[in-house]
Chain A
Amino acid sequence: MILRAEWLKLCTVRGWMAGLAAVPLIMVALGVLFASGSTMSCMDGTREVDCPAPPADSSGRSVQDRLTFVNRELDGDGSITAKVGGLDGTITYPPPNHDEIVRGVVPWAKAGLMIKDGTGPGADYAAVMLTGTHGVRMQSAFTRDKAGPPLREAWLRLTRHGDEITGYVSDNGADYQKIDSVRLDGLPATARIGLFVTSPSGYTVDERAEGGHAVSARWTQATAEFSRISPGGAWTDSLVGYSDYRTTWEQTHPPGYTESGGVITVAGSGEIGPDSENGLAIERTLTGAFAALLPLLVVAALCGSAEFRHGMIRTTLAAIPRPLRLSAAKAAVIGAAALVTGLVAVAVTMPVTVGMLRSHAVVVLAAPWPTVLRVAIGTAVLLSLAALFAYGLASLLRRAVPAIVITTVLVLAPPILAATSVLPATAGVWLLRLTPGAAFAIQQSLPSYPQASRPQTVLDGYYPLSPWAGLGVLALYALAALTAATWRLHRDMTPSSQPAASSERGATSERGASSERGNPSERAASSEGGVRPRGSLRQDSA
């Protein structure tokens, strides 16, 4: 009932409804503008082609999965053991001069043992490996990573027992120590097992004076030597995820393996992990949320301050003399209106823009459906919470303009500043932890993971807080503003109950009482004799 009244109040002011309607319109318009202008093309050698969609893993996420995999069939349970060492490689045209091909391995070059559900890119795997500078690791599911001892050369072992894959390491070939154990659910009875090598691009980051940084990548290749392989023999050479194109270096040093005197040397180039670079992340279609927030913040702030203009609050409190329920109902209506507006905006923008991008052959990175749903609904919730923050602040301050300025500066400025400006990275990170702008983390569909080669800073679109924690920061701000506003309204409605104030009141009323006794009779006497004192008049009327 109060809810219905507050809803009627909201929808009967035309300007507010226009502001709310602007939210989805702006978001869709900007999404379409963005999609219609985006193009993407890839080079296959010297030929320009439509970019291929990156492979997806079993959860539906776009991944990079390129490696040289020297493998054979493993039927049922079993294991493989090998001594891995001699990790070496090539980096093309690195800084400072970018003019020569040098010998070396990048930090996350990988060489080791792998079990994989076939040799298609994106297939489930588990692997134990040596890395360029990060020691022995066991990795699986494209993001899972467990550190082992920091060895440059090691005996590695990978065993399968049912769905359970366990990795071991030894520095002497006799005493094995377990690194990690992972479950690969749904791994068929027959899987591929073997030796692998891959080497991600070498990255350098250049700060730019006008803000932001430029990431440059260069092609690398790694080689490693495998010996004392048990059981050995019957190898197939699979180039997982490679295209037909070969770099100039690869034309003389092709990926694959050579065997001599019981030592297998494997060469490979590529990355195993979530893909963030070969397409657009899904949240890019929702960038319009920044602009759409502005009319929403204005409307929400006006809803809050309008009660305190023209004495409107007296009409409202005369109808609903319960400040707590009133505040709750108002917040619920504004929050719900913003949420619905946001849901409509997202529900239209996302499919339309993704469709447009795909029709232009622009690759949109795939994400598992729970992630897409989180991004979509989370964006609407973000709009809703931001509206509540603006509403709460405006009804606390009882003025719209300061509330609009403060909420805009706190919600919109931090992500824009952090992503574009000269703010030092650490300042940007703290800004996105402490301000309600942290909530934009809910839009991040790409998982960040520590073993990535590519930088994953704020400037690259990675937020310091996890999606829901970021949204929680905004929720806390909104809750604080709403609570303070409700408290202020409630305080104005109730008498202060401080002991000092009440004793003062007691004294006053005594004074008042004495004057009440004194005054009328004096006046009666000083006026003419015919006037009856007030007491008798009251008797007459009764």
Chain B
Amino acid sequence: MATIEVNGLRKRYGAAVALDGMTFTVRPGHVTGFVGPNGAGKSTTLRTIIGLDRPDAGTAIIGGRRYAELAHPMRHCGALLDPHALHPARSGRNHLLWLAASQGLPARRADEVLGLTGLADAGRRAAGGYSLGMRQRLGVAAALLGDPPVLLLDEPFNGLDPAGIVWMRGLLRDLAAEGRSVLVSSHLMSELQDMAGHVVVAGHGRVIADAGVDDLIGEYASLEAAYLELTAGVGGIR
């Protein structure tokens, strides 16, 4: 099965150290939560996995290969990093259509994922008019376009209404249950507690804890309590 293997990632921007030996593995079959204070290096790690940032040292491997080596990367790994990263004048459906074309996928995949994410009606409107929640759904649709075995989602719950949060939770759980590796970065501990099977806690650009959710709850009563305890004294932005 396809895993995400992050091994010893180091990255600095000028004087600021963003990643300092980040190492963890995301396994298929359950949702892996990726938590940590702001500035802990979560987004940089996700961007590095996708090849948007090059690490100074270390590797990030998806199913045995680097992202940039994949001929049709979105068939191997779908990612939602920035829901605003689209052209405002292009419709949601057209956004998916060009992405599908770039991966050699048929146009009907765009309509399938639009249906799956509840955007079938809004798909023909310009994406610039979408609410944040709709942009999140479009981002998820794009991530699912290539039916990838690996999914990376950065703060997917942001901007979703309560119904949307329930839907997203169910969707991610189902995707993991189908045997995919799902990595979800989030600040919503209650959501992750319900949904994730495993949690990676990051701080200062490296992993502080890497454990099953059940183990952590057993130890600290709740995921939130575990998080606060583990990250106590870990400043976010240095």
Contact = CB atoms under 8 A, between A and B. Distances in A.
Contact of B54 (A5, A15, A494, A527): A494
Contacts of B84: 310-311
Contacts of A519: 204
B189 interface: no
B114 interface: no
A319 B89 CA distance: 20
A509 B57 contact: yes
B215 interface: yes
A315 B86 contact: yes
A513 B22 CA distance: 11
Interface in B74-98: 74, 79, 81-82, 84-91, 94-95, 97-98
B85 A321 contact: no
Given A8-B101, A315-B142, A537-B209, A321 B73 contact: yes
Interface in B8-31: 10, 12, 17, 20-21
Contact of B17 (A2, A306, A317, A508): A508
Interface string A519-534: 1100100110011101
Contacts of A314: 47, 52, 81-82, 85
B51 interface: yes
A526 B232 CA distance: 11
Contacts of B61: none
A495 B104 contact: no
- In which size bucket is the chain B interface? 35 or more
Given A14-B89, A537-B210, A320 B67 contact: no
A318 B74 contact: yes
B86 A310 contact: yes
Contacts of A527: 229, 232
B12 A508 contact: yes
Contacts of B169: none
A494 to B, nearest CB: 6
Contacts of A8: 94, 97-98, 101
- In which size bucket is the chain A interface? 35 or more
Contacts of A319: 73-74, 99, 102-103
B188 interface: no
A475 B100 CA distance: 33
B104 A540 contact: no
A7 B20 CA distance: 41
Contacts of B178: none
Interface string B25-63: 000000000000000000000010011101111000000
A321 B84 CA distance: 19
A311 B102 CA distance: 18
Interface in A302-355: 306, 309-315, 317-322
Nearest to A326: B102
Contacts of A251: none
A146 interface: no
B181 to A, nearest CB: 14
- Interface residues of B: mostly helix, strand, loop or mixed? mixed
A12 interface: yes
Contact of B52 (A4, A15, A318): A318
B31 to A, nearest CB: 14
Interface string B188-212: 0000000000100000111111111
Contacts of A530: 219
B51 A321 contact: yes
Nearest to A509: B10
Contacts of B211: 537-538, 540-541
B57 A505 contact: yes
A314 B50 CA distance: 9
B17 A321 contact: no
A311 B85 contact: yes
B91 A512 contact: no
A505 B12 contact: yes
Q: Which of A8, A311, A317 lies at the interface centre, i.e. has the most chain B CB atoms within 10 A of its CB?
A: A8
B209 A512 contact: no
A5 B17 contact: no
B233 interface: yes
A150 B206 CA distance: 89
A534 B198 CA distance: 14
Contacts of A306: 87
Contacts of A320: 102
Contacts of B88: 310
B86 A505 contact: no
B4 to A, nearest CB: 15
A6 B90 CA distance: 13
Contacts of B177: none
Contacts of A495: 54-56
B144 to A, nearest CB: 14
B113 to A, nearest CB: 14
Nearest to B24: A538
B102 A2 contact: yes
A174 interface: no
Given A315-B82, A508-B17, A509-B57, 14 more contacts: A8-B101, A12-B97, A14-B89, A309-B87, A310-B85, A314-B85, A318-B73, A318-B81, A493-B52, A495-B55, A508-B10, A509-B56, A516-B21, A537-B210
Interface of B: 10, 12, 17, 20-21, 47, 50-52, 54-57, 67-68, 70, 73-74, 79, 81-82, 84-91, 94-95, 97-99, 101-104, 142, 198, 204-212, 215, 219, 229, 232-233
15 contacts: A1-B104, A9-B98, A12-B91, A314-B82, A315-B86, A317-B51, A318-B52, A319-B99, A321-B51, A512-B20, A515-B20, A520-B208, A527-B229, A530-B219, A534-B207
- In the A-B complex, list the 10 residue pairs whose CB atoms are closest, starting with the nearest: A5-B102, A12-B94, A8-B98, A311-B85, A537-B211, A5-B101, A321-B68, A512-B20, A315-B85, A4-B101
